[in-house]
């Protein structure tokens, strides 16, 4: 136990939830906007809960109160108190009208929460970010998601400086004012929580499109960006239209306002925000063009556009009762977004991508001191809970429910959920009840998944009785590594499975005790600690394919032989499980090299992939993924004393052994065949070829670095788009090629005025493997284009270094840890949210080997001793140190 100074913030507990004593029926906001100072008059119609005898208390932070009236009467100073970020007002009653006027300082707001300036004073624009608790930085309010109000917003500003005025809701008038000023009014007919409020004001250009919903509503779609970026918004507009049509068809959900605005900004703490009728996007999640956007980024733009639009129902029309229910909107919407992306692209590849992210980001989170349930029982700072657990694991729990109910059953359940809760602030219990009631089943046992941290382990053992032609599959669940897990009740774990012959053919499944349905794939649910499933009429000893499609977020432990994994890798028709067999086999091969033990798994892995490499029928993108072993972060999860440099070196050896088996000549021949295609099209075959070309070049570089770097130099020079250009640059930089400096210089000159492309320039260098990375990061930190005030630039350099470069960050001398700690002190004064997220890189330091562990501990302790750290950073450091 490593105690922190006495500054740990107070805890907010789920068990303490009480309905609000005061609600706000209507909100009228009147802004006079300016860069240095903006003033806001707010008029709140108050409603009091007659069952509660509590004074009127409103949240408000960093507000300069100019005036306050209650029911038309100016209040004396003795009638209200503004202390500790709470305004308490005497004399209010049900139906009272409270009016306040406050002054805000947008240009001085570097935390990017509330009302702030994006860009320069001369050319930037004003915007807001209110989730989770940013509205209290704008005006006094009961700033909690279960207070839903109807908003009328009037904006006034200088027309030359702020020609575009936007707020959520439908437009309700605009006009001119004296002195070159103008105004615009917006009315949102739908009650919404304060975290969904938004405004934008400044010099922006737009593209627009007319859209008619399935229920006949005419909607204007408008995407806004600064003049130098508006020509990169067309792909996002197409993605928005696809998202709207898909939601109508898949969920029966139609848009419900007359206009839908989307705005791009380079200064944003998150990816995007689903404000009702006025989505605000981090530019990296909206802007796209072939010259500066990779294939992966195109798909990401499409996914984020869909995610924010889908929130219109799963988050806005039905919101969460309190922030403990955050996954009710985020986990559900991630699942909807993933389903959309699977339909728009390749379902198997999308599933591989999602599970790889889960294992890379969420599994380590669940295994370290920052582990928390999908629905936490308590928190100090809610912004610290926008995590992979809430989002990605939350999505996996929804996927489990959808799998258990089937496609039609899940749709019925979602219809019931939206019907029951439209306009309400709901809970996870409401969600499970609606899905269960619509299908006459009890889903409440799944609630246990939401209440416990950690990743369950699923053990599988098979026994074949040749005489009886029976195969018995025994499934056992347990939790390890978490205190108190021994007493937890078992979870319902749905396991989708199939059985294969030793020749790779699927067997028909006859589960004892169930009617034969002539199927070769089914789902069984492990409801207890251990269960036996007996399959009859099994004509030969089978090889089980388990957790098909990753049917539950667990760690599977099964005593497959290398040959059985190789069989599944070669023959499984489930694209995800084919990849999963390859990942398991590659992990075994890695362990062969690490332990100096038998090379059986290494041999099986190399031979299986050699056959697939020469199989022209396999999809190029899937082959690229199959040729890629688990990453260094995933491999580290299997170690007890983590040495990131050793893991990096062993993984490089593993890939080199694969490259040797494939052969330099075969790799070069495949590369040249793929390089013959120069299209920048975004169709699936074109993207797949570029994906495989990058992987082949990486493998070739392990055998013939000089030859591969010559190919990479030519590829960089002739690249028709960013995907090929960045792939080539990455190979040159990470291999330390002599051509890297010239390519980096050319890239910097080419994209000097393109912030998103320049972020990639920082990131590719920050991920230079091993000890040289630190010196490069220090050098880049002094670059004129680097600033701690921009979250994207911080993540591109420091984030890529501490989260995407284990061998570089985890130097044995601790210099990487000290660098992060030093930067966090400064960053925390500017933007506590970004600082806290970056500090999560310290998660899991206890599992490092002793020298690194002590160096990390010393850096964290020294950081924690600093006075004046934010609540955000203090909570992260407290969790990291004291668990």
Peptide bond into 827 cis (omega under 30): no
Closest CA to 868 of 833, 817, 829: 829
DSSP bridge pairs for 38 = 104
DSSP state of 572: -
526 to 360, 458, 551, 558, 676: CA distances (angstroms) = 26, 9, 12, 15, 50
The answer to whether 475 and 531 have CB atoms below 8 angstroms apart is: yes
E strands present in 90-129: 97-104, 114-118, 125-129
Burial of residue 84 (CB within 10 Å: 0-12, 13-18, 19+) is exposed
Q: Is 401 left (phi over 0), alpha (psi -120 to 50) or beta?
A: alpha
DSSP state of 869: -
Q: What are phi and psi of 378, to 5 degrees?
A: -160, 160
Q: What b/e readout covers 579-593, taking b as 16+ CB neighbours within 10 angstroms?
A: bbbbbbbbbbbbbbb
In the set 308, 337, 392, 637, the catalytic residue is 308
Instruction: Say how far apart CA 92 and CA 95 lie, in whole Å.
Output: 8
Instruction: Say how far apart CA 159 and CA 69 lie, in whole Å.
Output: 30
- Whether 133 is catalytic: no
588 to 404, 571, 592, 660, 668: CA distances (angstroms) = 32, 19, 6, 18, 28
544 to 476, 547, 581: CA distances (angstroms) = 15, 10, 11
CA 31 from chain centre, in angstroms, equals 33
Q: Quote the Cα angle for 738-742-744, to 5°.
A: 105
CA quadruple 531, 537, 541, 546: dihedral, nearest 10: -40
List the end-to-end C-alpha distance of the chain, in Å, as a whole number. Answer: 7
The answer to whether 29 and 40 have CB atoms below 8 angstroms apart is: yes
Burial of residue 766 (CB within 10 Å: 0-12, 13-18, 19+) is buried
The single residue listed with the structure tokens 């075969």 is: 666
Sheet order of strands, 259-265 included: 205-212, 218-225, 259-265, 278-282, 272-273
Q: Which residues are catalytic?
A: 308
């Amino acid at each position: 136990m490593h105690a922190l100074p006495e500054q740990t913030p107070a805890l907010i507990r789920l068990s303490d939830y009480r309905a609000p004593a005061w609600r706000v029926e209507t909100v009228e906001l009147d802004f006079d906007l300016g860069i240095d100072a903006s003033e806001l008059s707010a008029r709140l119609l108050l409603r009091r809960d007659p069952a509660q005898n509590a004074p009127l208390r409103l949240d408000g932070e960093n507000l300069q109160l100019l005036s306050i009236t209650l029911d038309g009467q100016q209040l004396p100073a003795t009638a209200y108190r503004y202390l500790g970020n709470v305004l308490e007002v005497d004399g209010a009653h049900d139906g009272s009208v409270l009016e306040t006027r406050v002054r805000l300082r947008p240009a001085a707001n570097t935390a990017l929460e509330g009302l702030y300036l994006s860009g320069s004073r001369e050319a930037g624009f004003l915007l807001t970010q209110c989730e989770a608790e940013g509205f209290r930085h704008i005006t006094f309010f009961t700033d909690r998601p279960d207070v839903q109000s109807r908003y009328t917003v009037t904006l006034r500003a200088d027309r030359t400086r702020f020609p575009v005025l936007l707020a959520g809701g439908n437009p309700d008038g605009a006009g001119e004012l004296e002195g070159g000023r103008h105004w615009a009014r917006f009315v949102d007919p739908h009650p919404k929580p304060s975290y969904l409020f938004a405004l934008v004001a400044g010099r922006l250009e737009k593209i627009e499109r007319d859209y008619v919903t399935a229920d006949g509503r005419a909607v204007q779609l408008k995407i806004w960006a600064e003049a130098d970026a508006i020509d990169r918004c067309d792909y996002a507009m197409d993605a928005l239209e696809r998202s709207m049509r898909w939601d109508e068809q898949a969920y029966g959900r139609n848009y419900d306002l007359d206009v839908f605005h989307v705005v791009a900004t380079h200064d944003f703490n998150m990816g995007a925000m689903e404000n009702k009728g006025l989505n605000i996007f981090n530019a990296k999640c909206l802007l796209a063009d072939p010259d500066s956007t990779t294939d992966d980024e195109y798909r990401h733009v499409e996914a984020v556009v869909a995610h924010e639009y889908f929130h219109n129902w799963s988050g806005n029309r039905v919101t969460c009762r309190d922030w403990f229910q955050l996954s009710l909107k985020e986990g559900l919407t991630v699942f909807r977004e993933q389903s959309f992306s699977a339909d728009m692209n390749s379902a198997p590849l999308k599933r591989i991508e999602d599970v790889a992210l889960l294992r890379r980001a969420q599994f380590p989170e669940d295994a370290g001191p920052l582990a928390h349930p999908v629905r936490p029982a308590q928190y100090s700072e809610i912004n610290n809970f926008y995590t992979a657990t809430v989002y990605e694991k939350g999505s996996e729990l929804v996927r489990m429910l959808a799998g258990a109910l089937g496609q039609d059953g899940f749709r019925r359940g979602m219809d019931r959920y939206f019907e029951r809760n439209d306009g309400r602030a709901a809970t996870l219990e409401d969600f499970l009840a609606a899905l269960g009631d619509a299908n006459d089943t009890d889903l409440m046992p799944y609630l246990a998944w939401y209440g416990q941290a950690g990743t369950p382990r699923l053990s599988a053992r098979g026994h074949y009785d040749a005489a009886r032609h029976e195969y018995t599959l025994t499934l056992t669940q347990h939790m390890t590594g978490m205190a108190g897990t021994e007493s937890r009740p078992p979870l319902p774990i749905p396991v989708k499975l199939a059985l294969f012959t030793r020749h790779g053919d699927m067997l028909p499944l006859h589960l004892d005790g169930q009617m034969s349905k002539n199927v070769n794939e089914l789902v069984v649910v492990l409801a207890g600690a251990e269960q036996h499933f007996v399959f009859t009429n099994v004509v030969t000893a089978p090889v089980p394919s388990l957790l098909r499609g990753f049917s539950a977020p667990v760690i599977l432990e099964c005593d497959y032989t290398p040959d059985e994994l190789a069989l599944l890798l070669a023959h499984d028709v489930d694209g995800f499980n084919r990849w999963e067999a390859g990942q398991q086999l590659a992990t075994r091969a890695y362990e062969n090299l690490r332990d100096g033990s038998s090379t059986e798994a290494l041999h099986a892995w190399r031979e299986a992939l050699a056959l697939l490499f020469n199989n022209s029928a396999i999809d190029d993108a899937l082959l690229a993924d199959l040729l890629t072993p688990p990453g260094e972060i995933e491999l580290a999860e299997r170690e007890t004393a983590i040495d990131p440099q050793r893991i990096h070196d062993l993984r490089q050896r593993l890939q080199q052994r694969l490259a040797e088996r494939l052969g330099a000549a075969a790799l070069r021949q495949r590369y040249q065949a793929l390089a013959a295609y120069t299209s920048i099209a975004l169709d699936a075959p074109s993207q797949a070829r570029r994906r495989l070309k990058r992987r082949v070049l990486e493998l070739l570089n392990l055998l013939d670095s000089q030859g591969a770097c010559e190919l990479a130099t030519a590829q960089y020079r002739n690249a028709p788009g960013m995907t090929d250009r960045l792939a080539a640059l990455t190979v040159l930089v990470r291999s330390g090629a002599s051509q890297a400096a010239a390519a980096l210089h050319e890239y910097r000159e080419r994209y000097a005025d393109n912030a998103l492309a320049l972020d990639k320039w920082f990131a590719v260098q920050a991920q230079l493997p091993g000890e040289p990375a630190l010196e490069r990061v220090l050098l880049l930190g002094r670059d004129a284009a680097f600033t701690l005030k921009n979250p994207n630039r911080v993540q591109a350099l420091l984030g890529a270094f501490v989260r995407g470069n284990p061998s570089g960050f985890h130097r044995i001398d601790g210099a990487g840890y000290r660098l992060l700690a030093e930067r966090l002190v400064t960053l925390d004064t500017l933007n506590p949210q970004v600082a806290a997220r970056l500090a999560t890189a310290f998660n899991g330091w206890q599992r490092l080997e002793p020298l690194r562990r002590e160096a990390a501990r010393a850096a964290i302790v020294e950081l924690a001793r600093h006075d004046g750290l934010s609540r955000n950073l203090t909570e992260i450091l407290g969790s990291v140190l004291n668990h």
